[in-house]
Structure 1
Amino acid sequence: MKRYILLEDTFLEQLREARKEPSNLLNAVSYYGRKKDKEHADRCFGLIFDIDDVDDVTLNRFLYGCQDEHRVYPTPNFLVVSRSGRGVHLYYIFDEPVRLYPKIKVQLKSLKYGMTKWLWNQYTSNNEKVQYQSYDQSFMIAGTKENMTVWCLRDECYKLEELFSMAQMEFNKEELWIESQYTLEEAKKKFPQWYEKVIVNGEHEKGHWKCKRDLYDWWIRKMLHPVDGATYGHRYWCIMMLVIYAVKCGIPYEEVKKQAYELVSELNSRKPDQPFTVDDVNSALECYDVQFATFPIDDISRLSGISIEKNKRNGLKQKQHLYLARRRKEDMKAIDLPMKAPEGRPTQEQTVREWRRFHPNGKKADCIRETGLSKPTVYKWWI
């Protein structure tokens, strides 16, 4: 195997040399330094999709759906037909390369996953097993080993938000990294406190509080629950959220890595014919970064497919809410007025456990009827 380092000023000449080899792979990502790995990924220039088991019928269906009057699928900038491999590669090129900072990586992965599910279906492929790949997946360069046909279908490149909109997915533009107008030396003089905190001490720019380990352990239980836990289509995202919770709780990297590897067999059992692999875990571990310490609950729930109930504080800050709750409790005691639940409303888990304590031989149907809880909730906490 030979590895070529393609430089911007001599890219075409080097590419011509690389194409002389029997086969060559290239992706749409550039790197800084000499290592081609996710830690050194710098910019992403587009997304490439691979659809297998394509014939004339399914290809014509896809092209038909790309026409303006139908607009079922976004028209790729390039479509590469592999005659021997019975597959096509679809290239969607960005109008501006995307800087690969941690938070935008999550959005790119989500977009690649969502668009793959959209583009690869029963009408565009004869293979029902959709294969999901990372945004930095490498593909055969047209003109090397295989006899390929390349079609240019669209001259105009895509804005990133345009692809999100067409895929009907949410896009947080604030997480795009914009080139600074200052050099590092200029920023050191102009923003000395920021420089000391972020560059010298390596702290997160916005700051965050560290959560208790209980939150990390809770997510593992939540993820592995047989009824409401990780499902086949969300296994990867559940591990990614485990890594993010590890960041929030200050769990060491090696510990969460070991834990994630141990979960592979369990998650694989959710759908063995579509295996969950160590490679999936390694990809998710990229999110072990302090920038994810403030990753919002809504996004965790959306990506993982697991419902998370929020604590209701009626729009108040946590300190304000707790102050008023404790004040009310003291006032009720002062006038000797009993409270219905002085220690707070019992959780659904507590309700089920308490019912079982008084009904050791009781049945789930009885618990559902007497507590008023839903069937999934009772089954969830019937341990």
Structure 2
Amino acid sequence: MLTLTDFLFEKFPETSPRDFYRDLFPSGFLERKGEYETGKYCAIAIQITKTKAKRYSVTDDLTVIDDLTACDDFCVLSPISYAGKSQKQSNARFMYALTIDLDDIRYDENGYPIGLQDLWYKMTDILKTSAAPYFSLPVPTYIVSSGHGLHLYYMFTKPIPLYKNVIEQLSKLRHELIRKIWNDDVTELWNNRQYESVTQSFRMVGTITKTGTRVRAFNTGGKVTLDYLNSFVAPEHRVTTFTYESTLSLEEAKEKYPDWYTKRIVEKRPRGTWTCKRDLYDWWKRRLSDVQEGHRYFAIMSLAIYARKSGISRDELEHDAYALIDFMEEKTSRENNHFTRADVTKALEAYNAEYQTFPRKDIEKLTGITIPPNKRNYRKQKEHMKYLNGLRKMRRDVLGEDEYKNNRRPFNSGIKKNIVQRWRADNPDGRKIDCERETGLSRPTVLKWWDVQ
């Protein structure tokens, strides 16, 4: 069997980790160690051990790169520079490369990576055919082999300033490129594409992979411009402007929106968000039984988002998340694609106020789980609450229901026990995961009553 690394090694020159990151962050673009420089920022590398995640500021000297590539821990880095040591999207300042993750490359019956060969064909040879406008793909600056997957790095000739409206446009562009690159000739997961955040971190070149080898980078092309990437997608998916959406200056905004100016500029509060009951968090935990192998990391990340949004403590979140490792590991079908404690530790970084407004549609794309919108039948919030209170009163006074009995428990324990036992009787060879999906019960409930007679 020819590995992805072997295929790339035969065709392209390999680049050392330091040279790769020097190309990504050219000399003079990042802040120098111990010096504040206006308009310059640091990249952020994260080292994940068995017990914690440690952040490092990557400065112009790149010494952190040398240190991390010499260790045997899971290490990630985003091709982004940030203000401060937090990877909040609001702190992102410049993008040095648009990067796309590509998993589960197709192999033929002889163990040849036919998917990688087809990918390169669509990036080069297909340009000579009449089908080029429809099927051709942009040539990346580097293809990085991360073990069983690839990272395509499109390094920019000049870093892209990450204003909010630019991030939104880059997300659309990247989404469309992923749709084209993750096709059925290239990957077995073409119908289950993974659309991560545009500021996603990636396993560092030179660090350890899940298979115990090292991540390796191969130079496949030159640096690119946004115009070049735009030429491969339809106009509605292109990045067209680099200006702020608002035309107001801060002084004009201060005069026109004094409350907003005081909260966001003077007091530096985060954007306002809805705070939900814990029902949302508990509902998402139940939905985790539907998550598929390629979406496990994002499912835990979303659990962290909903925990923050629902006022769940960090301790409770960590207890729940780490308890899910074995359950998520049961879904592993590919060799060396295990779900580990390091995956959970990294995903829990989303327990952050900045993620509270993470869009529902984006969570659907990342996790592969459908999230129905909260419907109010077009009533405003106050009208909707008035309607619900009236409904509760009617059920209490007319139907005699006790709304506080079994609060947050749709079934008592005896009923849940009977449901599990009845399902097992009807499905003697059934699996726990099938029982969860068909009954709607949670994983802990099924485990609790699985062997009870």
Q: What TM-score, normalized by structure 2, do the two folds share?
A: 0.51
1:45-104 per-position Cα deviation (integer Å, ceiling 9, x unaligned): 332357799979665522332335335755234354799x99986433569726287x95
Whether contact under 8 Å (1:236, 1:280) holds in the other structure is yes
CA separation of 1:163/1:216 partners in 2, compared to 1, >3 Å: closer, same or farther?
Answer: farther
| Counterpart in the other structure of 2:284 | 219
Per-residue Cα deviation, 1:7-45 (whole angstroms, up to 9, x for no partner): 23999xxxxx98xx9999896323446x6x735653223
1:65 aligns with 2:65: no
Aligned runs of 1:109-188 on 2, under 5 Å?
Answer: 119=181, 123-124=185-186, 135-137=200-202, 138-139=204-205, 150-152=220-222, 156-159=227-230, 162=233, 178=244
Q: CA RMSD in A?
A: 6.2
Q: Which residue of 2 aligns with 1:38?
A: 87
Give the equivalent residue in structure 2 for 1:380: 440
Q: How far is the alpha carbon of 1:183 from its aligned partner?
A: 7.5
State the aligned residue count: 338
Corresponding residue to 2:332 among 237, 262, 271: 271
Match of 1:210 among 267, 275, 297: 275
Is the Cα–Cα contact under 8 Å of residues 81 and 88 in structure 1 kept in the other structure? yes
AA aligned to 1:260 is: A
Which residue matches 1:28? 79
Report the counterpart of residue 137 of structure 2 in structure 1. 75
Q: CA 1:77/1:139 → structure 2, altered by over 3 Å: closer, same or farther?
A: farther
Q: Is the radius of gyration larger for structure 1 or structure 2?
A: 1
What whole-Å deviation, never above 9, does each CA across 1:340-367 have from its counterpart, x for those lacking one? x999xxxxx95x879959x899945999
1:201-250 alpha-carbon deviations (Å, 9 max, x no partner): 44333x33321223223322332x3xxx3221221121111111122112
Distance in 2 between the 1:125 and 1:377 partners?
28
Q: 1:284–1:185: structure 2 CA closer, same or farther, 3 Å change rule?
A: farther
Structure 2 residue runs of 5 or longer lacking an equivalent are 1-16, 33-60, 70-76, 207-215, 404-408, 427-434, 447-453
- Bigger Cα displacement from structure 2, 41-50 vs 117-126: 117-126
How much identity, in percent, do the aligned residues show?
Answer: 28
The match for 1:281 is 344
Structure 1 residues 270 and 104: CA distance shift in structure 2, 3 A:
farther
1:260 pairs, out of 294, 303, 321, with 321
- Whole-Å Cα distance in 2 between the matches of residues 330 and 88 of structure 1? 58
| Cα pair 2:173 2:230 within 8 Å, conserved | no
> Does 1:91 find its partner at 2:153?
yes
What residue is the counterpart of 1:306 in the other structure? 369
Q: Name the CA shift for 1:79/1:197 in 2 (closer, same or farther; >3 Å).
A: closer
- For 1:64 and 1:287, the matched residues in 2 are separated by 38
TM-score by length of 1: 0.59
Does structure 2 retain, via aligned residues, the 8 Å contact 1:204–1:291? yes
Counterpart-to-counterpart distance in 1, 2:369 and 2:352 = 22
Give per-residue Cα distances to partners, 1:237-295, cap 9 Å, x unaligned. 21111111122112344543454334333322221642123443344334333243344
The amino acid across from 1:288 in the alignment is Y
Alpha carbons of 1:98 and 1:262: their partners in 2 closer, same or farther (altered >3 Å)? farther
C-alpha distance in 2 between matches for 1:235 and 1:326: 38
Counterpart code for 2:87: K
